[in-house]
Structure 1
């Protein structure tokens, strides 16, 4: 793997530079108790937004049943929320800097809580749609604030531990969604899927108000507001998310709505990116992509989110379809990954904080474990039950922290706090958009492969009349035979999805020795350039 070194061209000046570096390191601000409380509050706010997104999505079947909403209408409750959630992440850092991180984060958290309280009391479906869109907007503003705060306030020695806290929102938060959804719908009340955000939100608001410094509001930034970027970027992202999440249900490009969403969103996205390149006060600073580690981090992030989503979704879909599992019965699989992450993430941060550790090797190990997980999952059969997936999911306890922490280290190391809002906007919006793309990929590929396998199985049965006759006698009817064909098609589709994910993991693995360069922990006094 490539490693850049610093070449000393003027030896007499080396000593003064070293002394200056030592003075700067010793002058780094300490992490006070008050500031630590503020950072914990921001972490809780971000985690509550992620949990609200995950739990309401997983509990949507019970929510639709309680409110007498049909399946097709109910899908828009999730889609509209996700579209607003992703689109708001693009612009939240700009507004956070303008209105101050403390005020903006507190306001977004309060809005998320109030809207969550109101959702179960919506008088009709359009009102519920409106509330979900507004809650998606407010909730999407919270995760980007966490990276900005970490880059701005954390001392170099503990910066990676702060990023490990952010990694909880990408790993622990989604994994905890299934147990909470099962808890509320099975034992408490479906309304808790909306109201669970309140206790955590109140705690986060109190901690943010107490701990974060109060900066002056910068209303003058509106004089140079990037209206072109806002009016092209917001609808572009929202339209693409709608197209990806509704594509499988509406038959992709055979639907006029999906064509309008995907093609129109793509054109607006191109216009947005061109505008961002030239605008003096952009929402995305695309010039950051000239940093090799930053570009590699975003590319790997997109693939890693697809992998993380798929590794969680494929077993749950398989167990639900083949064995009729409810969320409560798939909860142990999610907890198996979620609980150990509370220890694995800080431990991974501690290892990466060692100067002699090359983050590229850890990233390669993590991606290799993900590829092994997907490869072993491709041998799934109809006899597999929940216990068969335990040994697959257990590999993620090691793999996920390695991959996510290495991506965060590569993206943020050497990044000045002034660039934090731009990096946060690009990182968070890409992360959430990739999750929507992963859902569309799983549904699209899964439907296509299931239709293919169903057709092949039916053809084989039709070509063997004796086998068909025996199957009919044994199963007492066509209905049971159709069920068995469908179940086998689902098993083969699950295996195919695992193979696709293994290919994505191997592609990301190949990039590791080619694109990123050697970097050192943030505390290191001398760091090579990552360009």
Structure 2
């Protein structure tokens, strides 16, 4: 087949390699940053556009749904258009859609712009992996993966803090405008350096049925997950309808894609032992990690009284070790069994969540920050080895499709995990609230003494004392529910360790993938 017989371009060296890495990394960072930066600005955006916060959350939902549809199409689009043209076009269209978001005069225009932004952002993450791997010598492929992992992990961490600061200090439009100079620089440099290194293309027929069924099941499932909590899950006919449509279209999609000669998504990649095992392991782990990254700032803001920017700063130290250890990982991965490193990462994650499971409502700032800081260590050990396992042994022309499909499963798992863990936290909070409220009877001397103490301390009437006690009870119930989530998260990381050992060792830390060798 033509794509696999062409000679791969020689890796970059020196200043060209540094500039190429910076351009590709900035495009990745811009994309992953935008997936989380809008979250903290939703109340402000909703207020400015004159809509409810529930309506405003569609800004996040539609971006996620469009992005989830586009990511697995990367392999097909790459073969049709070429890696470099597709990557640069995605960057420039992302810049254009960011500008549209910033100037949107109403919610309808903003949502349309976010759909476009999500669609064109799809190829950026998987193609950045493939382009970086091709830019480095085979023996330095783990360095490429380390740099990619650094930008992919720091973006979601920096998003809430940066979004909160921009929204508080300037205008919500600027959370989109900041993409413009970054994207123009990344697109221009990428084109100048890579335009003569285009991957071979071939005219593939469009799998229209596969594309339509993919869009239907991914879109309906993503909306169901995002809106489930707001609509009280399966007590809502809307959620039931979305679930049934997603299930039927998903089954149809699987049957069609496995029997189609030129499928829009190459599901046959899952036949590979390393791709299958590595993708499942990284997706389950990312689902737990990302879900906790979402609910921790919510608890810090909602129950500890932190401002959005301060809550973001509490989670920001997660990136410290992830950045510092990136060059170390580049040296360690080629000499180590990637499965051992990934196992150590999962054990590290479990330890961090055990630390968090002992939080109290009176937790101080250092106790919040310490586990977050330490979590950067397993973060550094997490992405690179598992990505090396997933891509190892694949021919060069399969790397974009494999990276696209594995990133799709990982990111989609993050959405599923967030919905499940958020719902679990709500349910455990309700349970703990009911258990604590059983003791809140005037016949209970401890409860009566507590009200007397509150009244003596705060003054005011009996109703104020009861209201204060109820707020304290709510905070305590939420804390106990969150502790349950942290404990369960630690157990999940331990339980999924065997998934890593279902794969074979990744030789050379992904070098085989980078070189296109079998």
TM-score by length of 2: 0.90
Work out whether residues 39 and 149 of structure 1, in 8 Å CA contact, stay in contact via their aligned partners in 2.
no
Q: Verify: 1:477 aligned to 2:473, yes or no.
A: no
Work out whether residues 311 and 374 of structure 1, in 8 Å CA contact, stay in contact via their aligned partners in 2.
no
Structure 1 residue 464: Cα displacement: 4.3
Structure 1 residue 423: Cα displacement: 0.4
Q: What is the alpha-carbon distance in structure 2 between the residues aligned to residue 178 and residue 104 of structure 1?
A: 29
1:209 aligns to what? 191
**How do 1:396-407 residues align onto structure 2 when only pairs under 5 Å count?**
396-407=375-386
Q: What is the alpha-carbon distance in structure 2 between the residues aligned to residue 216 and residue 270 of structure 1?
A: 33
2:253 aligns to what? 272
Q: What is the alpha-carbon distance in structure 2 between the residues aligned to residue 427 and residue 525 of structure 1?
A: 17
For residues 380-409 of structure 1, give each alpha carbon's deviation from its aligned partner in whole angstroms, at most 9, with x where no partner exists.
111113211222112212101111111111
Q: What is the alpha-carbon distance in structure 2 between the residues aligned to residue 436 and residue 378 of structure 1?
A: 23
Partner SS for 2:80: helix
1:21 aligns to what? none
Compared CA separation, residues 109 and 30, structure 1 to 2 (3 A): closer
Q: 1:419 aligns with which of 384, 388, 398?
A: 398
For residues 319-366 of structure 1, give each alpha carbon's deviation from its aligned partner in whole angstroms, at most 9, with x where no partner exists.
212211112212333331213322212211210122xx2111111111
Q: 1:380 aligns with which of 359, 367, 384?
A: 359
Q: 1:322 aligns with which of 286, 303, 323?
A: 303
Q: What is the alpha-carbon distance in structure 2 between the residues aligned to residue 339 and residue 129 of structure 1?
A: 34
Q: 1:101 aligns with which of 83, 93, 102?
A: 83
Q: 1:74 aligns with which of 56, 76, 89?
A: 56
Q: What is the alpha-carbon distance in structure 2 between the residues aligned to residue 53 and residue 218 of structure 1?
A: 30
Aligned residues: 498
2:203 aligns to what? 220
2:169 aligns to what? 187
**How do 1:508-523 residues align onto structure 2 when only pairs under 5 Å count?**
508-513=496-501, 515-521=502-508
Q: What is the alpha-carbon distance in structure 1 between the residues aligned to residue 31 and residue 340 of structure 2?
A: 32
TM-score by length of 1: 0.88
Work out whether residues 258 and 268 of structure 2, in 8 Å CA contact, stay in contact via their aligned partners in 1.
yes
Q: Verify: 1:259 aligned to 2:240, yes or no.
A: yes
Work out whether residues 167 and 405 of structure 1, in 8 Å CA contact, stay in contact via their aligned partners in 2.
yes
Q: What is the alpha-carbon distance in structure 2 between the residues aligned to residue 205 and residue 64 of structure 1?
A: 32
Q: What is the alpha-carbon distance in structure 2 between the residues aligned to residue 81 and residue 46 of structure 1?
A: 16
- Gapped runs of 5+ residues in structure 2? 1-7, 455-463
Q: 2:490 aligns with which of 502, 505, 515?
A: 502
2:425 aligns to what? 446
Work out whether residues 295 and 422 of structure 2, in 8 Å CA contact, stay in contact via their aligned partners in 1.
no
1:460 aligns to what? 439
Partner SS for 1:339: helix
For residues 294-337 of structure 1, give each alpha carbon's deviation from its aligned partner in whole angstroms, at most 9, with x where no partner exists.
11111111112123213423432222122111122123333312
More deviation in 195-204 or 145-154? 145-154
2:4 aligns to what? none
- Gapped runs of 5+ residues in structure 1? 1-26
Q: What is the alpha-carbon distance in structure 1 between the residues aligned to residue 351 and residue 323 of structure 2?
A: 23
Partner SS for 1:281: coil
Compared CA separation, residues 433 and 216, structure 1 to 2 (3 A): closer
**How do 1:17-32 residues align onto structure 2 when only pairs under 5 Å count?**
29-32=10-13
1:291 aligns to what? 272
Q: What is the alpha-carbon distance in structure 2 between the residues aligned to residue 262 and residue 374 of structure 1?
A: 31
Q: What is the alpha-carbon distance in structure 2 between the residues aligned to residue 525 and residue 262 of structure 1?
A: 40
Partner SS for 1:59: helix
1:345 aligns to what? 326
Partner SS for 1:462: coil
Structure 1 residue 281: Cα displacement: 2.1
1:19 aligns to what? none
Structure 1 residue 34: Cα displacement: 4.2
Q: Verify: 1:44 aligned to 2:26, yes or no.
A: yes
Q: What is the alpha-carbon distance in structure 2 between the residues aligned to residue 47 and residue 213 of structure 1?
A: 21
For residues 99-141 of structure 1, give each alpha carbon's deviation from its aligned partner in whole angstroms, at most 9, with x where no partner exists.
2222222222222212222223323322222111111112223
RMSD of equivalent CA atoms: 2.5
Compared CA separation, residues 29 and 244, structure 1 to 2 (3 A): same
Q: What is the alpha-carbon distance in structure 2 between the residues aligned to residue 351 and residue 389 of structure 1?
A: 30
1:20 aligns to what? none
Q: 2:408 aligns with which of 410, 414, 429?
A: 429
Q: Verify: 1:306 aligned to 2:287, yes or no.
A: yes
Partner SS for 2:508: coil
Structure 1 residue 152: Cα displacement: 4.0
Compared CA separation, residues 523 and 89, structure 1 to 2 (3 A): closer
Q: 2:106 aligns with which of 111, 120, 124?
A: 124
